[in-house]
Amino acid sequence: MPCLSIDADRLIGRIQDLGRIGRGENGKLTRLAASDADKAGRDRLVDSMREAGLELRCDRVGNLFGVWREADVADLAPILVGSHIDTVIDAGVYDGCAGVLAGLEAIETLRGSGFKPARPIAVAAFTNEEGVRFAPDMLGSLAYVGGLTVEDALATIATDGAALGAELARIGYAGSDAPGFLRPHAYVELHIEQGPVLDREGLAIGAVEGVQGISWRRVTIEGVANHAGTTPMTMRRDAGRAAAQVIAHLHDHVAGSNAPSVATVGCIAFEPNAINVIPSRARFTVDLRDPDERRLRRMEAALDGFLDRLAVAEGVSIAVERLARFEPVAFDPRIVALIEDVAKRRGLTSKRMTLGAGHDAQMLARICPAAMIFVPSVGGISHNPNEFTRVADLAAGADVLLDVVTRLAGA
Amino acid sequence: MPCLSIDADRLIGRIQDLGRIGRGENGKLTRLAASDADKAGRDRLVDSMREAGLELRCDRVGNLFGVWREADVADLAPILVGSHIDTVIDAGVYDGCAGVLAGLEAIETLRGSGFKPARPIAVAAFTNEEGVRFAPDMLGSLAYVGGLTVEDALATIATDGAALGAELARIGYAGSDAPGFLRPHAYVELHIEQGPVLDREGLAIGAVEGVQGISWRRVTIEGVANHAGTTPMTMRRDAGRAAAQVIAHLHDHVAGSNAPSVATVGCIAFEPNAINVIPSRARFTVDLRDPDERRLRRMEAALDGFLDRLAVAEGVSIAVERLARFEPVAFDPRIVALIEDVAKRRGLTSKRMTLGAGHDAQMLARICPAAMIFVPSVGGISHNPNEFTRVADLAAGADVLLDVVTRLAGA
């Protein structure tokens, strides 16, 4: 295998260039889906795709594709790479864009090298991945894999009242292709980690083997409000203390399990919320995640059991609402192994990882073998102007993407 | 000792009568200090004091007195009984009023019996005990014992913008006596428990031996906000989980101590308070109470030590603000023993208790031997229309008050 490498200067130059588009007067980067800023970003991407000699395609929900299709293999299912270029409000420059532009970079490098692909290779930028302006997030890739009809997607109303269909038409990105028109042979997405693990452990590459399942619940504990000075500890039915026991138990149970499970209590409120009144009500959210569905179910059952015992022990009543539930997604083990293999051949350290949900790859996994390549994000920061990935780490990730595409599109 | 008893029908009749004064169109009872409703209540109390043959006195901060002063003992320090007749918003009829009217009942009963007191006996209704319209609570008794100057008391501004001095003049209860003009030989106050202990344990009388010390703090824990899905449990600096550990520890430490100590976390807030973000900040209040100052200090020190260890163990920073601190007040042990003794002689069960702060007796304890008699309040409910004390329990408490006054005012 020749040691072909991407052009790191060209890649980081394009990321920085795209990151200058969509800055407000305050200098903050905000390119919400199907906005004027998104149009300007798409226009720049289209220019780059054209320079790379790719065929431009846009589907009806605005997913944008640059396709390298040699005549002799034009009818075969393509290798698809990509991500998204829409951003959150006051964003960094890497989230999404790094994946699209690394994909473009890999294709351009392969084309320039004289490589003869055994099937088409295409790079995609999916519409409204962030979900800030239109709900749900990952809307474009969801529609692409058939999880949302084109009609429903186009009728989606923005937080500012506009319909997605009208906005796409207005900015000139309401394409004519049916979502799913390119049915991929495989999909590979490079992304910054959006978590601290690679950076903290000094590793170069994350080989993402799946998406965590998610269980969101809201727990309401009803006790009895009483005077903080006159009610002996043994006569209390303290909803706040019961909530604290749940939080402490959840952490200990999950952190002590040696599994990649995570549990988070992010929201809490007490009533009456007065310094000298024992809380009559405590309401809090529980976010449980695990890449293994059976283990996620066991976590849910363990929580239910703990709440049942707690209600008896503390003399409180406890109600649980399910707010959201998503089963885990397993990425394609062959592609995951391929990512590890090419990283090793390049002398790069790597680690198998699981997503905390929220990337287009998990949608594409419904219709083709898929996986993701993570590169380190300093401090795990994302969705923030301080988001930062070193050029060397980006280049290493793009080289791994290049090698994976080379192997997948090879003879 | 003759078995003299109060007139339970007269007592409950007066409580119900006073409880009809100050009802709004919605039927709710609200007699805030120095309001029109308070004036009407005071007028009714004055009528009853006059009917009982007592000398009426009113001091400059509106504290109202009915004095039984026989000529031969007129110059001696009086036995003072009483409480207050101002109420919270949407109040019950017992809080405060039961103590004033039981005191009046005891004096009237003694007078009617031909008893010859060895010193004057007086009943007091102190201004603004509840603290709803004017701050601080217990304002009248605080001024009476010299803890607040008359000028400062009268300049106190109500929540509705009126000055206390102007309001007392308006309702005709700006008296001419200097607060403290009657320097009591002893002070005894009957009050409903405002807690569940007597009712829960089926006891008739609480012999209150002191007031808990109070320590109020606000704790702020700073961790690091991170994504709930992508941050492994071992890499978290979760301010919310740290707060839960404090709450659980406080409860276990205090409930397991066999002391009458109480600890309450009544208020809490997480930031950013999002379901899928690990809390970066948790802020909560801690209310510690104990009748023993050394034990209260040990509780504070134990909390500080726990917070120090927690900060290291969880990688969070912790700041503590002191919001309030009151040392415990010890009531007069001879009067407490006397209450127990007379209860026993009447065949009434009793228990030594400690106040969760907030009664005029703790102010009077600064200038004379003082104690309190608690009667059961069903379910511990107070500051609520459902506040209820059975007639038999009220009568038993008033009989105990009668006997204590008889012994204190005896030859």
Percent of chain B with pLDDT over 70: 99
Nearest to A240 among B240, B260, B268 (CB): B268
Antiparallel, parallel or unpaired: β A64-68 and A121-125: antiparallel
Condensed to tens digits (0 to 9), the pLDDT of residues B359-384 reads 999 999 999 999 999 999 999 888 88
Q: What is the pLDDT of residue A357?
A: 67
Within a 10 A sphere around the Cβ of A160, how many other Cβ atoms?
10
What span, in angstroms and rounded, lies between the C-alpha atoms of B195 and A230? Answer: 5
Within a 10 A sphere around the Cβ of B208, how many other Cβ atoms?
26
| Chain A contact set for B266 (CB, 8 A) | 228, 240, 270, 272-279
What the block records as the tokens of A300 is 């849910």
A288: nearest Cα among A266, A317, A311, A273: A266
| Chain A contact set for B321 (CB, 8 A) | none
In terms of DSSP H, where are the helices of B20-59? 36-51
| Chain B contact set for A326 (CB, 8 A) | none
What the block records as the tokens of B108 is 């009237």
Residue B66, pLDDT > 60, answer yes
Torsion of CA A395, A397, A399, A405, to 10 degrees: -140
Nearest to B231 among A267, A355, A380 (CB): A380
Contact B266 A323 (CB under 8 A): no
What span, in angstroms and rounded, lies between the C-alpha atoms of A65 and A364? Answer: 14
Condensed to tens digits (0 to 9), the pLDDT of residues B212-251 reads 999 999 999 999 988 888 888 999 999 999 999 999 999 9
Contact A194 B263 (CB under 8 A): no
> Cis omega before residue A279 (within 30°)?
no
Q: What is the pLDDT of residue A246?
A: 98
Closest A-chain CA to B290: A229
Contact B214 A229 (CB under 8 A): yes
Q: What is the pLDDT of residue A361?
A: 97
Q: How far is CA A128 from CA A62, A85, B45, in A?
A: 9, 8, 73
| Chain B contact set for A356 (CB, 8 A) | 227-230
Q: What is the pLDDT of residue A276?
A: 86
What span, in angstroms and rounded, lies between the C-alpha atoms of A156 and A84? Answer: 18
Q: Which of B212, B219, B230 to mutate to test the interface with A (most CBs of A within 10 A)?
A: B230
| Chain A contact set for B351 (CB, 8 A) | none
Q: What is the pLDDT of residue A63?
A: 98
Closest B-chain CA to A196: B231
Q: CB–CB of A121/A409 below 8 Å?
A: yes
Contact B226 A196 (CB under 8 A): yes
Condensed to tens digits (0 to 9), the pLDDT of residues A388-408 reads 999 999 999 999 999 999 999
Torsion of CA A16, A21, A23, A25, to 10 degrees: 120
Shortest Cα–Cα distance, B167 to chain A (Å): 30
Low-confidence ranges of chain A (pLDDT < 50): 1
More confident residue, B163 or B382: B163
A394: nearest Cα among A257, A204, A222: A204
Contact B263 A233 (CB under 8 A): yes
Contact A380 B227 (CB under 8 A): yes
| Chain B contact set for A214 (CB, 8 A) | 229
The mean of the pLDDT values for chain B is: 95
Residue B173, pLDDT > 80, answer yes
| Chain B contact set for A217 (CB, 8 A) | none
> Cis omega before residue B328 (within 30°)?
no
Q: What is the pLDDT of residue A256?
A: 87
Burial class of residue A287 (count of CB atoms within 10 Å of its CB; 0-12, 13-18, 19+): buried
Contact B248 A241 (CB under 8 A): yes
Q: What is the pLDDT of residue B171?
A: 98
Bridge partners of A206? A351, A374
| Chain A contact set for B254 (CB, 8 A) | 233
What the block records as the tokens of B142 is 């605080």
What the block records as the tokens of A83 is 């991500």
In terms of DSSP H, where are the helices of A256-375? 293-314, 333-345, 360-364
Bridge partners of A157? A163
Nearest to B229 among A226, A238, A357 (CB): A357
Shortest Cα–Cα distance, B171 to chain A (Å): 33
ipTM comes to 0.75
Q: What is the pLDDT of residue B1?
A: 46
| Chain B contact set for A270 (CB, 8 A) | 266-268
Contact B268 A267 (CB under 8 A): no
Q: CB–CB of A207/A339 below 8 Å?
A: yes
Residue A81, SS3 per DSSP: strand
Q: What is the pLDDT of residue B357?
A: 67
Contact B287 A273 (CB under 8 A): no
| Chain A contact set for B270 (CB, 8 A) | 266-268
Closest A-chain CA to B229: A356
What span, in angstroms and rounded, lies between the C-alpha atoms of B279 and A48? Answer: 41
Condensed to tens digits (0 to 9), the pLDDT of residues B345-360 reads 999 999 999 887 689 9
The pTM of the full predicted model, rounded to 2 decimals, is: 0.75
Contact B229 A214 (CB under 8 A): yes
Bridge partners of B191? B374
Least confident segment among A91-100, B106-115, B188-197, B254-263: B254-263
Contact A232 B197 (CB under 8 A): yes
Q: What is the pLDDT of residue B121?
A: 98
